[in-house]
Amino acid sequence: MLLPPAAFAAFAGMFYFGLMRDDPDDLPSARQGNPAPPLQLSQLGELDGFDDEMLRNGEVSLVNYWASWCGPCRAEHPMLEEIADSGVPVYGINYKDDPDNALAFLDELGNPFAGIGADDTGRLALDWGIAGVPETFVVDGDGTIVLRFAGPITRGILEDRIQPAIDAAASGS
């Protein structure tokens, strides 16, 4: 009869430690600090694609997982355009989406991506450790992931998390 109280105590302990994390919105990433996984993307319409070499060309870049069916992806789109306008290449990976819908999304909102491809099956998302869309990765010039951010990029997130990671990657620290 000790099993039910012991199970309850174990679950209560897990919940308590989960709530006491430094940043409960920050999901751990096994990829952070490691090389970006090899890219195997499908072409999305006639848009320019990208490959592994583009993530290892000495320039800091962002990789953004998105989908046309994702409301938060629509909300973060102006921030991606702002980042791209600042000169940081933003590469897009369209996740499990209908290609026509993805292209219509970009036609409507604009295309901030220096290169884009599609992860039709979601297999590459597993390699990158994607929990859902949108997710954005800051990648240094050597192709190492320096930051993973899960969720839509807002003004505050751009200023507090993304831009400092870009700046640190650009300075080599």
pLDDT in tens, 12-24: 444 444 444 444 4
pTM of the model: 0.83
Write down all domains in the chain, each with its CATH number in brackets: 29-171 (3.40.30.10)
The candidate with the shortest Cα–Cα distance to 148, out of 169, 127, 165, is 165
Lowest average pLDDT, out of 6-15, 28-37, 53-62, goes to 6-15
Cα–Cα distances (Å) from 15 to 9, 11, 18, 73, in that order, read 10, 6, 5, 29
Calpha distance 66→97 (Å, rounded): 9
Give residue-wise pLDDT tens across range 47-77.
Answer: 999 999 999 999 999 999 999 999 999 999 9
**Cα–Cα dist 150/64, whole Å:** 10
Q: Whose CA is closest to 59, among 141, 118, 168? A: 141
